[in-house]
């Protein structure tokens, strides 16, 4: 059951790269323990929105934004980058594993954040791999290189690595775009299990994927949030004709 309690809230969020406005007046609440799908055609601002939430956009010197992002009721600008990015982790389209062992990939984050106790790190590695639906596949080869894993396994390892720093929110930017259907299904299974403990936001160009895993879905178009609703309602009875046109393949 999704709690109707917003962990993230954006208020009149506007995002720019130089003079190009990418997002316009985005007002959106993301609830605790929900999977929010974000769909829309290319260049709708979906990834910019995602990266605004943990301030990755600020690494681009041409980026600026207006409006407010609140995280757990606090203005996100008052939260240090290192804290915000630990609390709001991100999984990218292409798996970005470190060229070290499976174990060390997962242990890396906790060590960076000051965890020194070996038993605690062991427990975090096991728990994170279990939550990412990867433990049974790698438990006997934790000391082998992560680069030897399949693409789908590498993506789930990235999820485990994010979980190991104990975030509150997980962002996904097209996490299955390079995966085969079986690997995609395993990542989706992991996401659905994780919704019991984490808030997740999924940006995807695959409308069927959003329909499968999201509790609610938001439709972005040309930098605007057209509508957001319960996924089944949005897919079967959208309130805006543009949403219906996109979902039925008339554009996008």
CA atoms within 13 Å, Cβ hemisphere of 101: 11
What pLDDT shows up at residue 5?
A: 87
What pLDDT shows up at residue 251?
A: 77
What pLDDT shows up at residue 43?
A: 92
Q: Is residue 175 part of a domain?
A: yes
Q: Is residue 185 part of a domain?
A: yes
Q: Is residue 123 part of a domain?
A: no
**171/89 Cα distance (integer angstroms):** 6
Which residues, 6+ apart, have CB-to-CB distance to 98 below 8 Å? Answer: 104, 105, 108, 146
- If one counts every other C-beta atom within 10 angstroms of the C-beta of residue 164, the result is 26
Indicate the number of domains in the chain.
1
**178/235 Cα distance (integer angstroms):** 25
Q: Is residue 121 part of a domain?
A: no
The whole-number mean pLDDT for each consecutive block of 10 residues of the chain, a chain of 252 residues, reads 77 97 98 97 96 95 97 95 94 93 96 93 97 96 97 96 96 93 93 94 96 98 97 97 94 72
Q: Please report, for the domain that includes residue 68, its CATH number.
A: 3.40.50.300
Q: Is residue 128 part of a domain?
A: no
What pLDDT shows up at residue 67?
A: 97
What pLDDT shows up at residue 2?
A: 43
What pLDDT shows up at residue 156?
A: 96
Q: Is residue 152 part of a domain?
A: no
**135 neighbors 129 (Cβ within 8 angstroms):** yes
- Report which of 104, 93, 102 is spatially closest to residue 46, judged by C-alpha positions: 93
Q: Is residue 107 part of a domain?
A: no
Q: Is residue 17 part of a domain?
A: yes
The domain of 184 spans 6-95+168-247
For every residue of 167-197, DSSP letters joined together read -SEEEEESTTTTS-HHHHHHHHHHHHHHTTT
pTM: 0.94
Which residues, 6+ apart, have CB-to-CB distance to 124 below 8 Å? Answer: 106, 107, 110, 115, 164, 166
């Amino acid at each position: 059951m999704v709690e109707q309690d917003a962990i993230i809230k954006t208020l009149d969020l506007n995002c720019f790269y130089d003079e190009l406005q990418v997002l316009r007046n985005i007002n959106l609440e993301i609830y605790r323990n929900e999977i929010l799908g974000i769909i829309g055609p290319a260049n709708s601002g979906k990834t910019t929105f995602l990266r605004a939430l943990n301030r990755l956009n600020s690494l681009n010197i041409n980026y600026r934004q207006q409006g407010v992002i609140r995280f757990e009721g606090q203005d996100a600008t008052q939260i240090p980058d290192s804290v915000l990015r630990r609390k709001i982790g991100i999984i990218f389209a292409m798996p970005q594993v470190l060229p070290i062992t499976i174990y060390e990939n997962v242990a890396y984050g906790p060590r960076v954040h000051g965890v020194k106790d070996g038993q605690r790190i062991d427990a975090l590695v096991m728990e994170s791999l279990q939550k990412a639906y990867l433990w049974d596949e790698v438990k006997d080869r934790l000391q082998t290189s992560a680069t030897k894993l399949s693409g789908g396994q590498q993506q789930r390892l990235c999820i485990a690595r994010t979980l190991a720093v104990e975030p509150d929110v997980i962002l996904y930017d097209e996490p299955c775009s390079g995966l085969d259907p079986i690997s995609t299904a395993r990542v989706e299974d992991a996401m659905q299990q994780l919704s019991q403990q984490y808030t997740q936001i999924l940006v995807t160009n695959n409308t069927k994927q959003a329909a499968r895993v999201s509790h609610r879905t938001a439709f972005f178009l040309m930098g605007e949030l057209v509508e957001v609703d319960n996924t089944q309602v949005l897919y079967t009875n959208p309130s805006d004709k543009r949403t219906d046109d996109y979902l039925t393949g008339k554009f996008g």
